Chain A
Amino acid sequence: MSYELRRAQRDLLGKAKRRTSRDRMTEQSLGELLDSLYHTPPRNAEAAARGRATFLAEAAAMRDELARRPKRGMLGWLSELVKRCLGMGRLDGEPSASPLDAPLRRVSASLVPGLVATFASMTIVVVAQNSLPNQTLYPVKLWSEDIQLSLTIEPENRLALLIEFINCRVMELNALHQRGESPSPEFILRLEAQINEALQLLNAKSGPDAFDIAAVRALEQLRATITDPPPIVVPTPPARLSAPLSLTPMVVLTRAPVNTVLIHSVSVTASPEQTPTTVATVTPSADTTSALPSSALTPVSLIPVATSVTADGDPVTTTSRTTEDAIRTVGDPVDLGASTPTAVAVTIPVLPTVVVMPQPTAVPPTPTPVHVVPTPQPTAVPPTPTPVHVVPTPQPTVAPLTPTPVHVVPTPQPTVAPLTPTPVHVVPTPQPTAVPPTPTPVHVVPTPQPTAMPPTPTPVYVVPTPQPTAVPPTPTPKPTAVPPTPTPKPTAVPPTPTPQPQPTPLVPIPIPVVPTTVKPAPPLLPVEPIAPPALPINTPVAPTLPILPTVMNPIPAPIFSLEHPEVTATPLPDESVRATAPPTLGPMPDQTQQQGEPSGDK
């Protein structure tokens, strides 16, 4: 056994020795093979000299060329960088700086063009976001919007995106109007299609809230405006108002952190440069909810903001607000003053009234005397003992400028009045009918009904406030039943002495004021407060009030044309006045038929 083992070991050692020697010989033979190439024929000296001369001549030529070449600028360095990335700067035989150089060169050769193209495309898309419909990059903007929409499947996100696009369309309309251009039919179709889709998404929601309701109204109003613009009535402009008016409609639908928000603002400026955008944000707060009837919650979220123009061309914004509501004026913030926790739902018809007040902001109530003009319909005016909260419009200049009397709407809240400076709704109407001044605060604002309408080639599509559909006139208590309250006298101002004949009758617009429980707060108005007759504080008076805050006043779509510097006021339909009916999300009368329409040029 041991013999065989020793023999095997000897064999293995012999094999190993033979393999080692063979490898050594193989190495040696390989060296001999390689040595066969070692000896090379001698180089031809003449050819070598010729090659050397050629090399030096070429070098001298390149040196001279480089000496004449101008210094490389930014583009030169950029092209050099691109060349480097593409590997074009290297010669065929240049060794790589690292083993990863060649793979990186291949990768960069495929990535760099793509990155450059992507960067250029993104730049174009970003630049196109500021384009207008008649500009070159506008199709890129629409294309990017379509891509965003196509990539958004979630209904909530899609709705938000649609509302954003609709707002963008409205701003484009305004920009077109300011430039004196009219939108194309494709633009209108596209806007209408987006509105229809947004309405479909809103109606498809299971539990619509106040925001949805307000949004539906606003969108339907906008759709009605763009599809069937109301007749244009252009009254005679005041003599002092020579600058062309421009309309800045803006529909901003945003969701407030608390509950719902609907913002609607229409601003009228005397000059195209002045385009104040008023944004009103209304959020029903907790105390408002508790104070207001349930039906009054939803319409509260819809607050129109009317901005009129003074004789001096300063925009005057009249707005309404509720308790703890934030009313902001973009670009021209309005100081609301100290706000008291009072829920006031006020709808102000957005009237393209020309001249109301010479003061730029009408929000903070001022103790200045107010020109109160009772509306011809006395039924809608409940006498309120509260002091009149009037937008500061005491200027005597108003009278000669505005032929129509100024209607000031005081809050009908006797108890709340001294505590809450309710926004003053001043709607100057070119009404020729001179209304005798009444010392009592008027609750109804007559809307101007201009009859004479000059030809307006380019109607402006303005988003009015949500239109109250089929709302009967507010059953306000008889004025006779309510004893006149001794309100502060300075508020009563006789109407302007220059009434202009207007064949159309006045349409009074009730301005509802929602009484709410209000905590005692220092009176903001210097106007002498009037003690409430019988209602105690913290007692909701809403049920007793004929006009509840839910009333959404119809806001006619003001139409303005740059070609006609005259201020036009849209007629306010009688049936558009809405009382306290809460808004519903059900399909609108014309919604069903519009849903089936083609989606435009999308």
Chain B
Amino acid sequence: MSDQALQQTLLQRAREFDLQALAEIYDLFSPALYRYAVRLLNDPDLAEECVTETFSRFLRALKSNSGPRRHLRAYLYRVAHNWITDHYRATQPASVSLEEIEDVALDHHDPSPLQVVIGKLASERIRAAIMSLTPDQRQVIVLKYYEGMTNDEVAAAIDKPVGAVKALQQRALAALRRVLHVQSDPAGVLDELRVETGSA
């Protein structure tokens, strides 16, 4: 059974509130959703909360006879994405304290706190760049680069043709380059960060 057929079957059973099917759905999609949320939130607790809220909204949608019609995975990613977007809107930009930097450095056994700061700031900047994309572009980037889907799978997940997926991917990469000022080498980002932080 293909992935799409499996999703259709699970969705059909889930509409009848088959607990077994719902449990299978949770086991099948919650790890990927957690990784997706962690990448964008950089917080395991918030990511877990995001996953819980995503599946709760999915249940309410089934109860009101709405919810996904065909692509269950795309639906769950979209719900999680909306939750993360709302979270970013509601909270202030994350700030990095020195204690946190030291803890992270100790956890990662990194002797250089500067590298910890640089790495954390770089991750935040990339997250911010990804969050600045449109929902479709973000989903294409996340599903293709982080979930390892092919263009066909992404197209099926977001219910768009393959050509549209390629176009979305190209526009997303261009937007990321424009936001991140990507130079010919990735060290440019670090150099830029060093200049911004005054540690050069």
Contacts and interface: CB of A to CB of B under 8 A. Distances in A.
Contact of B186 (A29, A80, A89): A29
A93 B177 contact: no
Contact of B39 (A29, A40, A60): A40
Given A40-B38, A59-B19, A33 B182 contact: yes
A92 B158 CA distance: 16
Interface string B36-63: 0011000011001001101111111111
Interface of A: 22, 25-27, 29-34, 36-38, 40-41, 43-44, 47-48, 51-52, 54-56, 58-60, 62-63, 65-66, 80, 83, 89-95, 97
Contact of B78 (A36, A66, A93): A93
Contacts of B105: none
Contacts of A36: 119, 122-123, 126
A47 B48 contact: yes
Q: Which of B30, B158, B188 has the most CB of A within 10 A?
A: B30
B99 interface: no
Contacts of A26: 177, 182-184
Interface of B: 17, 19, 22-23, 26-27, 30-31, 34-35, 38-39, 44-45, 48, 51-52, 54-69, 71, 74-76, 78-83, 86, 119, 122-123, 126-127, 130, 141, 145-146, 158-159, 173, 176-177, 180, 182-186, 188-189
B47 to A, nearest CB: 8
B83 A93 contact: yes
B75 A93 contact: yes
Contacts, number: 152
B88 to A, nearest CB: 14
A36 B189 CA distance: 12
Main secondary structure of the interface of A (DSSP, over half): helix
A37 B146 contact: yes
A62 B39 CA distance: 32
B22 A44 contact: no
Given A36-B122, A59-B22, A62-B63, 5 more contacts: A22-B184, A25-B184, A59-B59, A62-B62, A90-B61
B190 to A, nearest CB: 10
A66 B62 CA distance: 11
A91 B38 contact: no
B43 to A, nearest CB: 10
A55 B26 contact: yes
A95 B78 contact: yes
B67 to A, nearest CB: 6
Contacts of A51: 26, 30, 48, 51-52, 55
A38 B79 CA distance: 21
Contacts of B38: 40-41
B180 A95 contact: no
Contacts of B71: 95
A593 B95 CA distance: 88
Contacts of A63: 17, 19
Contacts of A92: 57, 79, 82-83, 86
Contacts of B22: 55-56, 59
Residue among B61, B123, B127 with max Cβ neighbours from chain A (10 Å): B61
Contacts of A62: 17, 59-60, 62-63
Contact of A56 (B23, B79, B126): B23
Nearest to B125: A33
Contacts of A34: 126, 141, 145-146, 176
A48 B59 contact: no
A38 B86 CA distance: 23
A80 B145 contact: no
